[in-house]
Amino acid sequence: MGWVRMSERDVRRIEVLTEVLSGRRTVASAAVVLAITVRQVNRLLIRFREDGGGGLIHKGRGKSSNHRLCDGIRGYALLF
């Protein structure tokens, strides 16, 4: 995987999950710091182990919305 642009939130997640994997932090305390559930921390840990830091970014990033209007309708609406 090449370069990945990350938000501060994503970088913070990587820092906390790295602390959990190294044994300096518990899963429960990571959940409190990240303001998510223990179950979600465990899910993030699995993705972090498999895919590294790039696996933590949102999978829909860079894709268009499922609720977008087609270009013709959007162009027509912008005329008025």
Give the integer Cα–Cα distance in Å for 68 and 5. Answer: 24
Structural Rg of the chain based on CA atoms? 18
Q: Residue 73: what residue type?
A: I
User: Does pLDDT of 19 surpass 90?
Assistant: yes
pLDDT value of residue 1 = 54
How do the domains of the chain map onto residue ranges? Answer: 1-61
- Please write the tens of the pLDDT for every residue from 39-78: 999 999 999 999 888 888 877 777 888 888 787 887 777 8
The pLDDT of 3-9, averaged and rounded, is 81
Where is average pLDDT lowest: 10-19, 27-36, 65-74? 65-74
